[in-house]
Structure 1
Amino acid sequence: MTPVANTACRLSLLQAAWVVARRDFMTILFSRSFVFFLLGPLFPLVVGSLAGGIGQRVESEAARPVIGIAMTAADTEAILAARQSLAKELGPALPDMVVSKRLDPGEIFDAQALLARREGNLAAVLTGTPADPELVATPERLQWWTGPVSLIAGAALRDTPAVYPEVRTQVVAVTGASEQRGRLRTAQAGQLMLFLLIILLAGMVLSNLVEEKANKVIEILAAAIPMDAVFLGKLFAMLAVSLVGIAVWATVIGAVVGLSGFEGLMGNAIDLSSLPEPGVGWPLFFALGIAYFAMGYLLLGSVFLAIGSLANTVREVQTLSMPVTMMQVLLFLFASLAVGSSGQPIEWAAIAFPFSSPFAMFARAAQYESLWPHVLALGWQVAWVAITIRLGAALFRKRVMKSGSQGAKRNRNLRTLVASAFSKGSKNAL
């Protein structure tokens, strides 16, 4: 029995971590709780997207604001005929018009009093004559409708031809200032998405560790293989599960948007077409997003694992994890503040501090073309992942395994149990 135990203990750190990662990944991926975890965020997104699209369609099909015409009968007919002829080419660009009142020659009409009654969908009143039109409306309506009304009035002048000056145009490339502002918006959107995904998914690490502490599985694992390998395997298993979840959510959301034919709630909230191309280009930007998500997840997950070593119940986990979550929010705000301070000490501080580094560097990928800083930053973050795993494993050994004479005796008993399981051919011992 002893040689078997020695063989199990001779697993390298990476081999032992692979065993734990494979076990956790398969167990979580095919569990019912993971299926419901995937469905949880999808329900509000799908319902919100459908509701937003339906609301947008209802709003577009509802009665549009109209312009009331208060002119003499001849002028009214001329305006309506001009609008109808122009509608064949311009269509929705022209405002809808209705007859408010056909005036007698010389009759004075109070347009403001008509609008003050707030009847129906009347948003403006057109008075005067086609040669001298007067539009009464709110400032924003005047800004929208002055041009189309002028075009309709000009087309209504049959005897007096309207002369429209030719407007010369010149296309100019995007200026440096506008490109910088656009990339800044891309950086801020990327940071926000990265933060939300990490906060949403990192909590799975805590719940998994607390469950295994309660049923003593974690102690059996720690007795069989190094604790560093247990932490490393669990973190990478949770990271793989999180990437699967993100892939499922992205696929479902893309399918809903594609099948529904409208942008919906999320499309109205975030106009993705307004985001210009990031500095490193879209393919590398998404690749670096995955890399920085992995680094941020592993860094925060290693801290959560260390917290799990201090908690025995779910209530204690919630109490202990709250300060870490709030600190992560502050670090995200710190990295967001550094986006607008390029080259200044606050940006270098955000890049150097490991827990804000993924957010700061992801924003930098949207703003600048150079790639070598990302290589250095990812190496720096990998080093800190190793450090936090080592510290968390040491804390777990001290708090849970209780290193010492009694802890050593208990570990020997656990190793005996593990060796017995191996000798019986159990493939699920780990």
Structure 2
Amino acid sequence: MREIIRAALVIARRDYAATVFSKAFVLFLLFPLLPVIAGVGFGAMGASQDREALHPTVAVIAAPETAAAIGHAGARLIERLGPRALPRLRMVMPDGAEAVQVKRLLADGGGRGVVAVLTGGLDRPTLTGSRGGIGSVGGDIGLVLDSARQMRALDGRVPPVVDVVERPVDRAAGTDRSGRTLIARAGQFLLMFLTMILAGMLLSNMIEEKSSKVIEVLAAAVPVDAIFLGKLFAMLAMSFTGIAVWGGTVLTGLALVAGQLPAVPAPAVGWPLFLVLGLAYFTTLFLLLGALFIGIGGQAASPREVQMMSLPVTMGQMGVLAFASSSLGAPQSAMGIAAALFPWSSPFAMLARAAQGPALWPHLLAIGWQLIWVAVIVRIAAGLFRRSVLKSGGGGWFGRFRRRGMKPAV
């Protein structure tokens, strides 16, 4: 085993130096400028799923009669303007000290993304929330209150016309919830993009060396398992190099325009730990996909066969991303637990959980679970790779299958 590890490190250093110090790798580092367009498209695709999470809610602390008047006015306006023209109104009965109740609603959102709290009824309306939350719903709430006053005027009770008093606070849970939903979705997309392009690069390098008989030359000098592990480790190191370059560029750009950017809420676990977990989940996902791609590349004899065999894996990975995204915001549901347990969707689901929840112990369990599957998949893929290399030139089972299928009928 020690000999295999030592030989694998030699192969890894060879592949890393040959790839990183090449013109092609420099062009490869420039390639991620294109995902900006893909990211816009991904955001549009996920917009329909995010509407429920991002639709603001305003909690209304009022006595039953006042709450009924405000709710009725809001319902009439929604009938005319549409279901999403106004924020949702959540009626809450007074419970103890008003300031304490307002703070509690803004702190946890009541589980429903409250961005502001309305108190004071129709006579002394006060809207408390974050500046951004008040700015997004203040005009709509004023419209609802004016409509409620007009309905009272029809009953002969005309309260004085008053303006809504705005009371901004530092932060509201609904604003954080919306921002963290976006962070979770963006993190999932970035994780998929990085793993797919970097694992695809591994597959291209492998098939190029196999077609030029470099694999057979290496197999004559070192164990085949060492070739497999060496290429996997080399590509992981190249991936870290690319991520360091891209990440440094992004951080530099953000530092230059920091004063012009809107405030973004931090992930639930904090930015430093979120980035560390993101790197850990990228590593496990890359090892799972990289091992599969090397095993696939070992079965193919031409780039065309590689494309035909890797396409199901690529499409399956997009399906896995959709599976993990569907449980966004509901990690304790049956689908959320299933996404966290399935090896290929687990990194996506757990990265989203890091953005939305502060608990750390699920990540320790998830990383351990993923490492177990990495060991299993690497062992299986290494066996496939070993058999295909030792058969040397037969094109693997896929090539033999195609040749049998292409025999002319007699």
Q: Which residue of 1 aligns with 2:207?
A: 210
The equivalent of 2:31 in structure 1 is 40
| Letter aligned with residue 343 of structure 1 | Q
Please name the residue that 2:5 is paired with.
Answer: 14
Is 1:220 aligned to 2:220, yes or no?
A: no
CA drift at 1:286: 0.6
The DSSP-based 3-state class of the residue aligned with 2:277 is helix
Q: Compare 33-42 and 279-288 and name the one that shifted more.
A: 33-42
Q: Do the aligned partners of 2:195 and 2:286 also contact (CA within 8 Å) in 1?
A: yes
Shift of 1:344: 1.2
Partner of 2:274: 285
User: Structure 1: any 5+ residue segments left out of the alignment?
Assistant: 1-9, 47-141, 144-164, 264-271, 404-430
RMSD over aligned CA atoms reads 3.1
Name the SS for the 1:276 alignment partner: coil
2:181 matches 1:184: yes
8 Å Cα contact 2:180/2:356 also seen in 1: yes
TM value normalised by structure 1? 0.57
| Structure 1 position 401 matched with structure 2 position 394 | no
In the TM superposition, residue 382 of structure 1 has moved relative to its aligned partner by 1.5
Q: How many residues are matched?
A: 273
Partner Cα distance (2:305, 2:30) in 1: 27
> Following superposition of structure 1 onto structure 2, how do residues 56-71 of structure 1 map, counting pairs within 5 Å?
none
1:257/1:338 Cα in 2 relative to 1: closer, same or farther (>3 Å)? closer
Amino acid corresponding to residue 380 of structure 2 in structure 1: L
Q: Over alpha carbons, which structure has the higher Rg?
A: 1
2:368 counterpart residue number: 379
C-alpha displacement of 1:45: 6.5
Q: CA deviation at 1:261?
A: 9.2
Aligned-partner Cα distance in 1 for 2:295–2:304: 16
- Cα distance in structure 1, aligned partners of 2:269 and 2:178: 16
Cα distance between partner residues in 2 of 1:175 and 1:309: 54
Alignment partners' CA distance in 1, 2:389 and 2:2: 23
> How far apart are 1:173 and its partner, in Å?
5.6
Question: Which secondary structure state, in structure 2, belongs to the residue aligned with residue 171 of structure 1?
Answer: strand
Larger RCO (CA under 8 A, 6+ residues apart): 1
* Residues 94-133 of structure 1 aligned to structure 2 (within 5 Å): none
**SS of aligned partner of 2:168:** coil
1:332·1:359 contact (CA, 8 Å) conserved in 2?
A: yes
Between the aligned partners of 1:305 and 1:360, the Cα distance in structure 2 is: 25
CA distance in 1, matches of 2:277, 2:9: 24
In structure 2, which of residues 377, 380, 384 is the aligned counterpart of residue 388 of structure 1? 377
- Output the amino acid matched with 1:236: F
CA distance in 1, matches of 2:288, 2:35: 29
Residue 42 of structure 1: how far off its partner (Å): 4.1
Q: Note the 1:304-319 alignment, pairs <5 A.
A: 304-319=293-308
Which residue pairs with 2:196 in the alignment? 199
Report the CA distance between 1:292 and its aligned residue.
Answer: 0.8
**Distance in 2, Cα, partners of 1:367 & 1:167:** 32
C-alpha distance in structure 1 between counterparts of 2:235 and 2:313, whole Å: 18
Residues in 2 aligned to 1:274 and 1:192: alpha-carbon distance in whole angstroms: 21
Do the aligned residues in 2 keep the contact of 1:186 with 1:275 (CA within 8 Å)?
A: no
CA contact (8 A) 1:228 1:390 kept: no
- 1:231 aligns to 2:228 (yes or no): yes
Match of 2:265 among 260, 276, 283: 276
Q: Is there any run of 5+ residues in structure 2 with no aligned partner, and where? A: 38-138, 141-161, 393-410
Aligned match for 1:337, one of 292, 317, 326: 326
The question of 1:240 aligning with 2:242 is answered no
- Whether the 8 Å CA contact 1:185–1:275 is kept in 2: the answer is no
Counterpart residue number, 1:24: 15
Normalising by structure 2, what TM-score?
0.60
**Structure 1 Cα separation of the partners of residues 256 and 171 of structure 2:** 34
